[in-house]
Structure 1
Amino acid sequence: MNFDLNEEQVMLRDLVLRFAADRYDPVKRLGYLRDPRGFSAEGWATIAETGLLAFPFAQELGGFGGGAVELITVMEALGRSVAVEPILPVIVMAGGLIERAGSPEQQAELLPAITAGKTFAALAYSERDARYGLEKVATMATEDSAGTVVSGTKQMVLGGPFADDFLVVARETTGAIGIFKIAADAPGVRRRDYRVVDGSVASDLDLSRAPAERLPDGQAALEAALDEARLGICGELMGLMSMIFDSTLDYLKTRNQFGQAIGSFQAVQHRMADHYSRLELSRGQVYRAAAQHGNRQDRGASVSGAKAYISQHALLLAEDAVQLHGGIGTTEELMIGQAFKRVLLLSSLLGDSDWELQRYVALTRH
């Protein structure tokens, strides 16, 4: 398989890297995270002006028409930069679901404003007792004289504190899974905001007969959007792994102990060689998943297999990098410590390694 990027994909990657090179170091990144929204409004506006927020959407919707490789390319560049801009929750997860499940009117209403950086949407998917699947979704959508209303609770809604609209996954009276758009300021919506492990922001939602607007397509569109988000997570983890590996390798060449660089010790070299192998195998896994154009079941299996592998080995690399740096690796003074926290979040987002592996097994039994 040819992993080389074409000219347009290289330009897309370089656009992200140039943006990050001008704006990011450990201190600046922490400053962005201290914003109540967990990112810089100025930085988001700058990205919007470049048109980058439109990269995954179809051209007829005003996007660039980017596919799986473009998604991986952008997310890997963001991961290498340890960027805080909420492209994953707003563009990939919420925007991707609107593109797949929304009506033409809903797409026209929401996507241009999102890609212009003017409004934000957030996917409300997780529930306390549902783990990562859809089988035990308890949030209910019902009809009354005023229209559709949704009741239930959602947890860890990434981007919830600054969202203008929530895309809520709920069970309809028929038992089917549906997607419902609920305004953040609608009656019946209560929100508890908090920080997650990497410093970004999320919310828990308590919905009590909140007025909602149904998106036409339901579970199939949701599963496709979630698989695309998993692929984006894999891309970002791959970028984080590359940054962590390169930074650790540089540190090992300069940190002296017992009169020589610690990178000269054979045991350390073996550990780094193992991590390099895992990094390259992760790259192969994610591009294999991107190249899967079979049915939805086969693609879902490939994506879950890739995420199970990459999540496990990204954690191993990040933990080892912190240990090799010593005490300073646990602090936020270095990007290593900040990147480690991002890996912790992404490795379990939408499914940890065990759950993804179980899903892979279930989807390949046919």
Structure 2
Amino acid sequence: MSAALDDDRAESIRMIRDSAAAVAPPGGDLKRVRDLRWQDPGFDAGLFRQMGEMGWIGLRVPEALGGAGLGVSEMCALAEELGAGLVPEPLIPCTLSAQLLAATGGKGPLPVLLAGEVVVLTAWQERADTLEVPGSADAPRRFLPMASGADFFLLPVREGGKLALYELPAARCVPTIERTQDGGNLGTLQPNMHEATKLADDVGEALAVALDEAALVTGAYLLGGMERAFGMTLDYLKTRQQFGKVIGGFQALQHRAADLRMQLALTRASIESAAAALDAGAVGDARRAAVSRAKARAAEASLRLQRECIQLHGGIGYTDDYDVGLYLRKAMVMANQYGSAALHRRRFMAVSPEVEE
């Protein structure tokens, strides 16, 4: 990549990060997030519409179909900023749906999805901790994030060895809702194929690519939460006093903080490297290896760092009123979305040319 292209990409990423401040101000309070917990739909439909107006839902959709046509690096930068603010709106699953609809040539509710006027979720998952898409016509589709606010569902269905795509209005097939640890919700959908409309005969490869990107972008979201929680913890260590001394001066706590900073640095390097690989055109096993290495690290490191941050805060860290605990709750929910650390480690071992038999 030329220096000019490098500069253009850096400027694009900077602008994306700046635009996120409208939704998740750096260091801002989390009152809005707290107010949305345990409520339906669990997010602000008006703010989701604003995300559409800013072009975020169509960030990875080609310009010819109404999207922004930007890269994975830009999408990861945006997700990182949203993760720092614990933004609950279902942007990641909706960008996955937008990519699938783009693969159909723009059929179905793509224009209104890009505008943020509807929430479209892809109901692909039939069992826990997998990236495989069986496409069973009659099997329940599980783990749909923020499903109580969905307007449409996309159903991949296996037909003749291919993965067809159907559209199903949420009003014709209401999902069963369960609450999640962070105050959001997950849905289980029993497909009603009699009410579904076929959009495409084969979206298998498009869905595989979209799922990989969603896994990587979820890792970037977790990275943003790690950064913010670690920053809060450092501020606490610099101000909390014990035995007449600031506890940040205690060597044992300094060592623990240094370990967490290393986890952050390694996670960032892995996410950015994977995003660059995808933007450079990595396909097949190369794409899967890059994504799995990054998602495995982000999922594992986020849970470790968030737990350590709670402990470093002492008793106050365990109270629900203190914000650092919200980041642990979010990590507990998102670490396994689009594949757990264990799943991605297995996949990396299976597809990476760096691993010898």
Tell me if both proteins adopt one fold, taking TM over 0.5 as the criterion.
Answer: yes
Question: Cα offset for 1:245?
Answer: 0.8
What is the root-mean-square deviation of aligned Cα atoms in Å? 2.4
Q: Is the 8 A contact 2:121 2:154 kept in 1?
A: yes
Equivalent residue in structure 2 for 1:85, among 75, 83, 89: 89
Any conservation in 1 of the 2:219–2:271 contact (CA below 8 Å)? yes
Is 2:155 the counterpart of 1:168?
yes
Cα deviation, residue 6, structure 1: 2.3
Residue 140 of structure 2 aligns to a residue whose secondary structure is: strand
Query: Among 134, 148, 153, which residue is 2:140 paired with?
Result: 153
State whether structure 2 residue 25 is matched by structure 1 residue 26: no
Task: Please give the secondary structure, in 2, of the residue aligned with 1:112.
Answer: helix
The residue number in structure 1 matching 2:185 is: 201
What is the distance in 1 between the residues matched to 2:323 and 2:344? 28
Helix, strand or coil for the counterpart of 1:156?
Answer: strand
Matches of 1:23 and 1:163 in 2, distance apart?
Answer: 30
* C-alpha spacing 1:333/1:265, structure 2 compared with 1 (3 Å): same
Report the secondary structure of 1:338's partner residue.
helix
Mark the runs of 5 or more structure 2 residues left unpaired by the alignment: none
Q: Take 2:315 and 2:178, find their aligned partners in 1: how far apart are those partners?
A: 27
Map 1:268-347 to 2 at 5 A.
268-292=253-277, 293-347=281-335
Partner of 2:58: 54
Q: Say whether the 8 Å CA contact 1:27–1:333 is kept in structure 2.
A: no
Q: In the alignment, which residue of structure 2 is the partner of 1:145?
A: none
Instruction: Indicate conservation of the 8 Å contact 2:58/2:68, yes or no.
Output: yes
Give, in angstroms, the shift of residue 357 of structure 1.
Answer: 0.5
Distance 1:51 1:134, change over 3 A: closer
* Residue 185 (structure 1) aligned to one of 167, 171, 174: 171
Distance 1:210 1:196, change over 3 A: farther
- Give 1:32 shift: 2.5
Does the CA-based 8 Å contact 2:126-2:141 persist in structure 1?
yes
Q: 1:139 is aligned with what amino acid?
A: S
Change in Cα spacing, 1:133 to 1:77, as seen in structure 2 (3 Å) is closer
TM-score by length of 2: 0.89
Paired residues in the alignment total 346
Identify which of 99, 104, 120 aligns with 2:102: 99
Contact 2:38/2:184 (8 A) holds in 1: no
User: 8 Å contact 1:26–1:334 — kept in the other structure?
Assistant: no
Query: Which structure 2 residues correspond to residues 226-241 of structure 1 after superposition, within 5 A?
Result: 226-241=211-226
| 1:58-89 deviation line (CA, Å, top 9, x unaligned) | 11111221101111110011011111222112
CA distance in structure 1 between the aligned counterparts of 2:282 and 2:315, rounded to whole angstroms? 47
User: What does residue 132 of structure 2 align with?
Assistant: 134
CA shift, 1:22, in A, is 9.2
- The residue matched to 1:6 in structure 2 has which SS? helix
* 1:185-231 deviation line (CA, Å, top 9, x unaligned): 23xx3421122222222211122544331423332111100011011
Secondary structure, counterpart of 1:207 in structure 2: coil
1:14, 1:208 → 2: CA distance?
Answer: 42
Match of 1:215 in 2: 200
CA contact (8 A) 1:166 1:184 kept: yes
- Structure holding more strand per residue: 1
* Residue 258 (structure 1) aligned with residue 246 (structure 2): no
SS in 1 for 2:84: helix
- CA distance in structure 1 between the partners assigned to 2:263 and 2:162 by the alignment: 40
- Rounded to whole Å, the distance in 2 between the matches of 1:344 and 1:171 is 32
> Is the Cα–Cα contact under 8 Å of residues 75 and 236 in structure 1 kept in the other structure?
yes
Output the CA distance in 2 between the equivalents of 1:67 and 1:295.
15
Name the amino acid aligned to 1:217: D
- 1:56 deviates by 2.5
Deviations 1:144-195 (A, max 9, x none): xxxxxxx2211111132121211123333x3444432222223xx3421122
Partner of 1:37, secondary structure, is coil
Look up the SS of the partner of 1:36 in the other structure.
Answer: coil
Structure 2 CA distance for partners of 1:207 and 1:332, relative to 1, 3 Å: same
Between 50-59 and 299-308, report the one with greater CA deviation.
50-59
SS in 2 for 1:95: helix
Cα offsets for 1:16-35 (capped at 9, x unmatched):
12332299523321112344
CA distance in 2, matches of 1:257, 1:357: 41
Percent pairwise identity:
31
Q: Deviations over 1:296-346 (max 9, x none)?
A: 220111101111111111111001001111232223322211111111112
Corresponding residue of 1:348: 336
- Runs (4+) off by over 6 Å: 1-4
**CA–CA distance in structure 2, aligned partners of residues 177 and 191 of structure 1:** 22
Q: CA deviation at 1:93?
A: 2.1
Q: Which amino acid aligns with 1:361?
A: M
Letter in 2 for 1:12: I
Report how far residue 57 of structure 1 moved: 1.8
CA distance in 2, matches of 1:176, 1:182: 19
